[in-house]
Structure 1
Amino acid sequence: MVSFILLMFIGLAGGLAVGSGFVAFLTVLGVIPRLADLTRSEKSLRYYEVAIVLGALAGVWFSLGEPHLSFPTPIVIAIGLLCGMFIGLLAAALTEVLNVFPILAKRIGMKNKVNLLLWAIVLGKILGSLYHWLFFVR
């Protein structure tokens, strides 16, 4: 009984920590308003809120259970493309908020070559993802 209560406490504490970090990420950095601004969809903020809540709930459901979903290959490809687009837009909004690339370029001495730096990051991400999927996911 004591181990069960301890496990519940640890799970609750972990959930609070992750949830607090997620909310801080969204509110303090202003990621959602920036994402809406970049995509010129400020009128659809309610949809962003609903999508975040549903995404968080789906993430919890997938994390706690072991659902096995079976979709045809074209649907899996479409889901993968949509997930990739979301991550790309989120990364663009975050870098826009933090002005990461100009600071990074200045610090590593590539102030006049920001395009080269961006291409290096993009190609590195693509090659790293391909390496992971081709050699580790079977």
Structure 2
Amino acid sequence: MTIKILMILFLGFASGLSVGAGYVAFLTVLGIIPRLMQLSKTMKMIHHYEWAVVIGALAGVIADLRDPTLGLPGFLLIFLGLTGGVFVGMLAAGLTEAVNVFPILAKRIHLDGKIVILIMAIVLGKIFGSIFQWVYFGHQ
């Protein structure tokens, strides 16, 4: 029984290290955080970004393991959802900016001069998809 527990601990730790290393490589090699700071003109706040990433990753792991119930009022949950959505959207925008996703995609689907239409389609699809998920799966 002890060997089994030690193996589970080892596999969990090794998995966490590999996922964490991939996450750090993703953020550093592609330069997502520096590009996000450059776009938002907040280069002076680099330490805040670093700590936000570390604390966010730790909080996500703890929340995933513990499955907490916050019991917060609805208006506060709306604020938390909006700020989380803004963060994920900014991170996705930084990623797409870093690897030039939209210009390449626009050329592939023959929308060279109409990149705004492509971006609006993606944004509206994300909004309606999120609303559908919240309405359909939110009240079970």
- TM above 0.5: yes
Post-superposition offset of 1:137: 2.1
Q: Which residue of 2 aligns with 1:23?
A: 24
Query: Whole-Å Cα distance in 1 between the matches of residues 67 and 126 of structure 2?
Result: 28
1:34-49 correspondence runs (5 A): 34-49=35-50
Q: Which residue of 2 aligns with 1:60?
A: 61
TM-score, scaled to structure 2: 0.93
Query: Whole-Å Cα distance in 1 between the matches of residues 73 and 20 of structure 2?
Result: 33
In structure 1, list runs of 5 or more residues that go unmatched: none
Query: Whole-Å Cα distance in 1 between the matches of residues 55 and 135 of structure 2?
Result: 31
Query: Whole-Å Cα distance in 1 between the matches of residues 81 and 131 of structure 2?
Result: 14
- Secondary structure class of the residue paired with 2:79: helix
Return structure 1 stretches of 4+ with deviation > 3 angstroms: none
Q: Which residue of 2 aligns with 1:7?
A: 8
Q: Which residue of 2 aligns with 1:78?
A: 79
Query: Whole-Å Cα distance in 1 between the matches of residues 60 and 21 of structure 2?
Result: 16
Query: Whole-Å Cα distance in 1 between the matches of residues 75 and 129 of structure 2?
Result: 24
Q: What number of residue pairs does the alignment pair up?
A: 138
Residues 43-76 of structure 1, C-alpha deviation per residue, up to 9 Å, x if partnerless? 0101111111111111121112132211111111
Q: Which residue of 2 aligns with 1:123?
A: 124
Which AA in structure 2 matches 1:11?
G
In structure 2, list runs of 5 or more residues that go unmatched: none
Query: Whole-Å Cα distance in 1 between the matches of residues 88 and 60 of structure 2?
Result: 15
- Secondary structure class of the residue paired with 2:67: coil
Q: Which residue of 1 aligns with 2:113?
A: 112
Post-superposition offset of 1:6: 1.6
Post-superposition offset of 1:16: 1.1
Percent identical pairs in the alignment equals: 51
Residues 90-126 of structure 1, C-alpha deviation per residue, up to 9 Å, x if partnerless? 1111111111000001011111211111111111111
Q: Give the aligned CA root-mean-square deviation in angstroms.
A: 1.1
- Secondary structure class of the residue paired with 1:70: coil
